[in-house]
Structure 1
């Protein structure tokens, strides 16, 4: 079995190929061609969790095991540790092992970009990212590649942290700037990628702005205010997992009958006259799509 490190894993997953693979996988989940059960969540100490996420299809099977501990940032450690193993769907033979955090980060950013392509009527001119960690970095890199003309604004926990983030990625994302708080409601897309358990996005919901919640992954955490959630048309990437993990929606006492799947937006265009929120929680199906991209690039090399 081939084993690939963080750098090698990233190289094998070009962002545009990931978006295309996710588009296919989303439809296959609806059709039942990908089986992706609700992930198993086991508590670790100090608020950490162990996540087990299998998924299978006719062509490939995968299992992702990752540990997530938001407190690691206080100790200079990555928030996510883990691996993804891909197997032959017929024999069960293990094909390769790749870096779990890299798969998670890149496919999560690709899901966001798939959401932008479906839930925004035109390419974004301005994107606001709230957060300054690894997921923020993945999103900046992906947006800069797919939407190079868009201005990417960053809002960090402090002006100093935001400046450090901009300085770090300015070379790869020349349109990256610090958020001007006087113009905070003008972004076409707002993406929250923090570990905060209380809302970091409180601006009034308005048509023409797509708000995407990425960072919160437990039922007691919400990055987006309940007022924004309840005033918007709401989409989720994984309807099954969202009912247990999408704290933004759970704490807003969402009426789940009005929540739509991201996959449905691939078929029916949303009503762009209303505010739209996309909440992503992740699913093994997205990791399976990433492993398809990796396998295809290994076969070509």
Structure 2
């Protein structure tokens, strides 16, 4: 049984049972880990001896007192609502107390691509392992969880055009990304097993991959901002938003639009050029 690091055996037992249920649903390891992490945090608060004894008032108060970012709060709410819905469906409880949690509107994030200068500096200073993480995130727009899972023996494919990488995305969705020749060679030359192995025999956790890359980037830049940079530069090069959507593995085109930054100077130039055309039209009409 996975150690849930809780003080109550009842919480540990129910969280582990839910983990098994989520595996049966074929949810991704990242989703399962995130949802169980949220429950372990709640368990450590010791609101009740078991999750099915938690009251609506206590659950609402506990979630409300945390100063989380909007997206984090949305994720926690989703985890709790799904957990208690599972408890209800499996007759563990007769009351879905998580339905007291209010809906949280999603934030409208602005594209925030990493600075090219920061990335170049990080690539020069990083060791070979972190430099490879940087390349996968920057050149292919891969998420930290996707980078963590790369297994060259299983994920490299070759066709008439060249080498490509099978990327294991969110929601167990896979996509295939073409590889630059030199990056493909690095993956082909890698030792067997996961590209970034952990001491326990699996792969490094997505959290640790993100931490290593963020440390290399420094200046507060995160690994996810490399994904924004990739999206922005590929869009500038191709002007094809659907292509960027495929590259990033987004289910929704609206999500992709939030990743693509627009150069303010180009907006200014476009407005000025259009204004000039209208000025010319007014002059010719006078």
Normalising by structure 2, we get a TM-score of 0.25
When Rg is computed on C-alpha atoms for both structures, the one with the higher figure is 2
Question: With CA pairs under 8 Å and 6+ residues apart, which has the higher RCO, 1 or 2?
Answer: 1
Larger relative strand fraction: 1
Normalising by structure 1, we get a TM-score of 0.24
